[in-house]
Structure 1
Amino acid sequence: MESNLVVYNTLTRKKELFEPLNPPFVGMYVCGPTVYSDVHLGNCRTFISFDLMYRYLLHLGYKVRYVRNITDAGHLEGDRDEGDDKFSKKARLEKLEPMEIVQKYTIGFHDVMRLFNTLPPSVEPTATGHIAEQIEMVKEIIENGYAYESNGTIYFDVEKYSKEYNYTALTNRNIEELLANTRDLGGQDDKKGRLDFALWIKAKPEHIMRWPSPWGWGFPGWHIECSAMSSKYLGSTFDIHGGGMDLAATHHTNEIAQSQACHHSEPARYWLHTNMLTVNGTRMSKSAGNGFLPGELFTGSHPLLTRGYSPMTVRFFMLQAHYRSTLDFSNEALEASEKGFKRLMNACALLNKLKASEVTDVDINSIRTRCYEAMNDDFNSPVVIAELFEAARIINSINDGKSSVNAEGLESLKSLMNDFVFNVLGLKEETAETDDIGKLVGFIINLRLEARANKDYATSDRIRNGLQELGIQLKDSKEGTSWSKI
């Protein structure tokens, strides 16, 4: 199977023709969420971007096995080899079992992904469900001479690996510079080298999530889970590995090292990374106070938002920027996207009412060609959207009697909009009722926040209990207030 699809490969730092290992089959692995809290918008952007890629590959006729993991173990504070386990810490705060935390936030993640109309992956493996595979991989790496045990913890020997492979191939960074910038951290005395990282970590007595291994009771390091699960479901070498650009320097670099040390081959041929989010030009983060959750974006309950925006408006907004570009959130940009999304949906609705004439004086095929050219150029969704706006202009022109289209042209126009608006971009019609409910709940949440700020807790509780009786549950967290239907 041949296509003209070109993708930007982080590994080679250039655009390359996409040539699957075993066409028409494509293997794609994307690092999924760590389910100890609500999924944040940066994750959502990554998953919406790869949903676009998944949809387009399917549209081209590829048979795609899309694997996106759930990280539910082995994640320490700061993603280092020491510190508190994020799940255990959250479990203590909420007085729950760690796996209750996992279940709660996995369900929440799936709910958000459904709202954004993302297709479910082919396989969604969990780290805790693949402990045996991770242990076997660690054993293999030790046998190959690239890892060592120190006080019950297994470390990857970066210096030994670097003598045979390029450890920083993905980021093109200088390893001496990395060493110089490595801070002294707890547990360094157990390591041979400052860049060495844990494959398997010895569990302290108070550590809840632990499993038996040849080296005693412990839990997997953060990086080994993705190497083990990607190779299990896609083979030791597969086509596409994706994730946010923040994962490239450490997580993906270590994934490559582990996989080469185990299988003597690079895990993926094409590495694709999404860029970061900003708010009014400043990087989005919890510490800066400008990070908001999807629920807050839908309701407008965050102080930086003037009102809420529907899930499809947000998806459309994200697709208006190329996945490798920085995406800046602002009320003005979201409002413009809302207008653009409604304009596109109105054109699609109008299309079904158009009647064919005898002649055609519009060129639909050239728009379709340009849409394919844009998607084949590293999934350039902003250009596709611009072309679809041109198609919307033609639809309105035909409706106004200023242009005409014959039966064949009308079918071509319907096919174009169906293929690219709904199938590739993954947009869908939203009922006004659903949109209005979100805005209404957002308004009520803001009234409750005002009551709490004025220490009027009786009114705050009355609002919360009243919404509960109507089937709407509020959830307060340090990031803000979100809502869901019961």
Structure 2
Amino acid sequence: MVLRVFNTMSGELEEFKPLKEKQVSLYVCGPTVYDWAHLGHARTYIAFDVIVRWLEFKGYSVFYVQNITDVGHLTADTAEDKIVKRAIERKVEPMQLVDYYMREYFKDLDALDVKRPDISPRATGHLLEMIEAIQSLILKGYAYEVNGNVFFDVSKKDDYGKLSKIKLEEMLEGSRFKVHQDKRNARDFALWKRAALETVLKWWSPWGTGFPGWHIECAIMSMKYLGNQIDIHGGARDLIFPHHENELAQSEAMTGTKPFVKYWLHTGFLKINGEKMAKSSSNYITVRDALKTHSSETIRLFVMSTHYRSEIDYNDKRLKGAETSLNRLYNALEALEDAKKVSVKRGPNEMEQKFSENVEKLREDFVKAMDEDFNTPQALAALFELSKAINKFLDEQKQVNDEIIENVYNSFSGLGKTLGLFQQEKTKEIGEKIVNDLVQLLFDLREELRKKGDYCISDEIRARMKELGLVIEDTAEGPKWKLA
């Protein structure tokens, strides 16, 4: 089946054909690490995790780069760096703050079963490349320096605005274009910013001490690791303008290669109380707070129940609905596991053959949905229909042909895993191992205390273990514990 993706550049669904056969280069704009990741961030990163999983399912080798912004993310040309502002509030060094929240961000990704990118470059690790690129843009006439600030001259790019479709008049209306005194034109954007004496994060450059603009960072890091042309560049919808528009303009100006990106993919917002979830408006729920009351797979299912390009409204009712739906899928999976244990080696009967054909049809429906711009709501509909068919069939057939039940199990579990579902069994096994190890540790501690003659505490441990349903027995091989 042909995979089609919605390209923001064209505004249309296009057949997906990567630059190199069976190889996909993917760049997704990562977080500015100055606080906890929230569910709005998780929505985007879960969406691209599903995209990566599906591309791999289709046989593509995906090289995934997601940056870490650790300097230069300002809300406007004259605003304060978000990281520095938060570091001052917390009375810590900016890089202390960055290191801490970067580690916590990756913990959140792991907790959500989101695969880590192949590379997560930090902006501050690529300053030399940024300075060299800015020098190149000046030499080519696309940038100019005034008083230690370097700006990209938008007037030199005739096709500026081709991604966002924003016209000059609309650009000038935005508050972001309250003109910096050194700009030639309001719509020009900063590549390098002069640092004030009190600026904390600053570096040497040919134009004096300063720091890079936010847009040059992603352009340089994406090209360093993926080359002058990228298959997929993604992020949340609010990055289309100005961030991705500016990134596109300077990248194509630098290299002369078009298109810089073959397919632009953007996710819709996650809203809470009718507004976009955002730290800046204190209108958010952190990933770790959400995970206190909901499993990672419940959150994933909640996100995937809406197409990645559409907006999601967050509410507890929908999350509880996702939890109920997830339980239905697991019930079907467990029913298949039980059926495998009592399956029989014989030729399939007519009912089994019809069931197998129905399973294959629903599998094709799932694949067709995912191949149409990663349509997870339709794919999930096929998966739920498959779970219903499984339960109905197994209620009627007590013993099933072993090959058929094995194939159905592999199809059902395999499709779920392409969405990052059906991971809980692994977690359950790990949890059981930890419990067993802790019980053994407690048992060994009791035996050591007995050898030392401390019978009071050892007897207390034995009594408490019995209360927990654990019985200690004396055997020829020595004391052992078992479940009561």
Give your verdict on TM over 0.5.
yes
The DSSP-based 3-state class of the residue aligned with 1:278 is strand
Structure holding more helix per residue: 2
Corresponding residue for residue 248 of structure 1:
240
Alignment of 1:67-466 (within 5 A): 67-76=65-74, 78=75, 80-162=76-158, 166-181=159-174, 185=178, 188-265=180-257, 266-286=259-279, 290-299=283-292, 308-355=293-340, 356=343, 358-359=348-349, 360=352, 361-362=354-355, 363-401=358-396, 406-429=401-424
Count of aligned positions: 419
> In 2, are the aligned partners of 1:364 and 1:409 still within 8 Å (CA)?
no
> In 1, are the aligned partners of 2:77 and 2:176 still within 8 Å (CA)?
no
Deviations 1:337-396 (A, max 9, x none): 010011112221221111446321312111111111001000011111111111211222
Q: Which of 1 and 2 has greater Rg?
A: 2
Residue ranges of structure 2 left out of the alignment (5+ in a row): 432-484
In structure 2, how many angstroms separate the alpha carbons of the residues matched to 1:84 and 1:236?
Answer: 31
> In 1, are the aligned partners of 2:152 and 2:190 still within 8 Å (CA)?
yes
Matched, 1:63 2:56: no
Shift of 1:402: 5.2
The DSSP-based 3-state class of the residue aligned with 1:333 is helix
Normalization by structure 2: what TM-score?
0.82
The DSSP-based 3-state class of the residue aligned with 2:396 is coil
Normalization by structure 1: what TM-score?
0.82
Corresponding residue for residue 3 of structure 2:
5
In structure 1, how many angstroms separate the alpha carbons of the residues matched to 2:132 and 2:310?
Answer: 39
The 3 A distance-change label for structure 1 pair 426 and 151 is farther
**Corresponding letter in the other structure for 1:325:** S
Deviations 1:148-177 (A, max 9, x none): 001101000011223xxx111112122233
> In 2, are the aligned partners of 1:245 and 1:276 still within 8 Å (CA)?
yes
The 3 A distance-change label for structure 1 pair 35 and 260 is same
In structure 1, how many angstroms separate the alpha carbons of the residues matched to 2:66 and 2:379?
Answer: 26
The DSSP-based 3-state class of the residue aligned with 1:223 is helix
> In 1, are the aligned partners of 2:215 and 2:247 still within 8 Å (CA)?
yes
Alignment RMSD (CA, Å): 2.1
**Corresponding letter in the other structure for 1:89:** K
Matched, 1:43 2:38: no
User: Percent identity among equivalent residues?
Assistant: 41
Shift of 1:290: 4.2
Shift of 1:229: 0.6
> In 2, are the aligned partners of 1:182 and 1:195 still within 8 Å (CA)?
no
**Corresponding letter in the other structure for 2:387:** A
> In 2, are the aligned partners of 1:30 and 1:69 still within 8 Å (CA)?
yes
The DSSP-based 3-state class of the residue aligned with 1:39 is coil
Deviations 1:192-237 (A, max 9, x none): 0000110011111111111111111111100001000111111111
Shift of 1:285: 4.1
In structure 1, how many angstroms separate the alpha carbons of the residues matched to 2:368 and 2:132?
Answer: 44
The 3 A distance-change label for structure 1 pair 282 and 196 is closer
> In 2, are the aligned partners of 1:28 and 1:239 still within 8 Å (CA)?
yes
